A = this chain, B = another copy of it.
């Protein structure tokens, strides 16, 4: 069988003849960038075959590669099949890189009310005069130390089985771990000596793409470690739909295991950094979307992606870490956030918890944007939610030079309205390789301000500027010249890219307005807009309004709550009282099915302008555009 050798690392893998280079790369343990799941659509898995027989339909991908590139052996790993031993160069940009994952800025303020405690006990050994059973002795000591009443503590078999040895080997000096469970308390661990300081919990954001873990001491609630990790399920498909389809074919188990492993890796990293033993983690709180949490629990998510789209379970779940493969204390509990529907998952419930919407009089509009978006509008009295597909454009997909927030990505752009020369910032200040979602929004807004594009997104090619030109298929604006970049190509934004971006943002704005209509709320009544998630954290708020991504409200009312999912998980980890709030949120929130809502299509169509057909909804933008138009007339 052909051997594929990957350079520069010389990793090798064997595939059968006719197998793809992508298959070989995955076997060799390389994390290739396959946004489309290997369908040849995203063009992210570029490799260069240096030697050996392979076949690749170069004509089909003429848009991706120049004739010179084709001649030099460039191809898409997912579409190139191997005909013998080959040597392949994998450019760094084709590998999934350490992404800028949002882990900072929790700013959580909540009471410290953990659901787990440790008690160091110095017991009096039994005597003929006091021959009470080991367990009685233990539970009374816990009660005397201020713990729960002895009768209320349930002792599971595992602890009872080890108790007599632990008690005697330690000279009756032990630490007992007690957790609050439905109906009482549970003695979940018994250790020799004083380990009362070694009590930790993990708050996990189980995202489709990334996993973020916070480790906290449950003695004082403080953060002791943070780590993030790719969701290793990416090897089974980039988006969530392709993963559910993968599970239909190959069973749920591989996906379940990858989810657990991904969390384990992040926990291990955080624990190692903090010099903590993973076995001292006694509780794991997980917020994730409904499909992700179903997969982690080993519950089939298949029925969520086909009519009538039903999850198996929506309420919060509890189980033990061991049962789902988490490498924490043997008896550690796992708390899974409840969901509202298959589309409004535990991650959004966590967002709601962390933005405080459900506990305030003020009306908040919360927006979480990724490939899919979720919008929630409400206050402590009422809440409406909806979700939809934004398309990948806002995350840099389906945009020629769009990319994830990796080093070299352009994330901020301003354009001189006179010269049309852009200034940009890249991640890590590296030479540019592409443009992130926030960069794209900036460009859109700035091109609109500079009257390079009109409100439909068309590029005014009559402007005489060498940055404005007609590319192979579409008019385009050059953001960075070949020589400035790390990729040896001009980085441009095309009219087609702009159309895709407008379609994406129109979905979000259309959804916001649909919910506002449902609730009978005008934009003036919105007390605050909260952006949740990585996307919201990096975008320029003024530009988001400028292009009509969100309704116009005074800038100071817009805030970023950051990674609301992990923030919510942290809150529920350290304050058990909030877990009750969660289930109420999940139960009381109304879900608006956009596809079933005829008015949504109208709102979407009206929102598919920059910023909207009705400029009356964007009075400040209208004023600004008028000024621009006047200015451009003055200085033609």
Contact = CB atoms under 8 A, between A and B. Distances in A.
B157 A182 contact: no
B298 A133 contact: no
Interface of A: 126-128, 130-136, 154-157, 160-161, 163-165, 168, 181-184, 297-300, 302-303, 307-315, 317-319, 323-324, 341-342, 596
A591 to B, nearest CB: 9
A314 to B, nearest CB: 4
Contact of A298 (B161, B303, B596): B161
The 5 A-B pairs of least Cβ separation, nearest first, read A183-B183, A182-B183, A135-B313, A133-B314, A134-B312
Contacts of A165: 300
Contact of A164 (B130, B312, B317): B312
Given A164-B302, A182-B183, A133 B310 contact: yes
15 contacts: A130-B308, A131-B310, A133-B313, A135-B313, A135-B315, A136-B315, A154-B182, A155-B313, A157-B297, A157-B319, A157-B324, A161-B298, A164-B302, A164-B303, A182-B184
Nearest to A135: B313
A128 B596 contact: yes
A465 B399 CA distance: 118
A16 to B, nearest CB: 33
Nearest to A591: B131
Contacts of A310: 126, 131-134
A164 B309 CA distance: 12
A161 B136 CA distance: 37
Given A131-B308, A135-B313, A157-B299, 6 more contacts: A130-B308, A132-B310, A160-B299, A161-B298, A161-B299, A164-B302
Nearest to A154: B182
Contact of A184 (B183, B314, B342): B183
A485 B115 CA distance: 72
A628 B157 CA distance: 60
A134 B183 contact: no
A160 to B, nearest CB: 5
Given A165-B300, A183-B182, A156 B312 contact: no
Given A126-B310, A183-B181, A183-B183, A297 B160 contact: yes
Nearest to A323: B157
A156 B319 contact: yes
Contacts of A183: 181-184
Contacts of A307: 128
Given A297-B161, A298-B157, A298-B161, A128 B308 contact: yes
Nearest to A150: B315
Contacts of A309: 128, 131
Contacts of A184: 182-183
A323 B207 CA distance: 34
Given A182-B183, A308-B127, A136 B314 contact: yes
A164 B300 contact: yes
Contact of A314 (B135, B154, B318): B135
Contacts of A302: 164
A312 B182 contact: no
A498 B471 CA distance: 116
A164 to B, nearest CB: 5
A131 B290 CA distance: 14
A333 to B, nearest CB: 12
B182 A308 contact: no
B299 A164 contact: yes
A437 B178 CA distance: 50
Nearest to A128: B308
Contacts of A315: 135-136
Contacts of A128: 307-309, 596
A32 B274 CA distance: 61
A198 B512 CA distance: 53
Contacts of A168: 303
A172 to B, nearest CB: 12
A440 to B, nearest CB: 34
A183 B183 CA distance: 3
A260 to B, nearest CB: 13
A311 B164 CA distance: 9
A385 to B, nearest CB: 14
B312 A163 contact: yes
A146 to B, nearest CB: 22
A632 to B, nearest CB: 49
A109 to B, nearest CB: 29
A292 to B, nearest CB: 15
Contacts of A342: 131
Nearest to A298: B161
Nearest to A183: B183
A135 B336 CA distance: 15
Contacts of A182: 154, 182-184
Contact of A133 (B312, B318, B319, B596): B312
A15 B319 CA distance: 49
Given A156-B319, A596-B128, A133 B164 contact: no
A305 B188 CA distance: 27
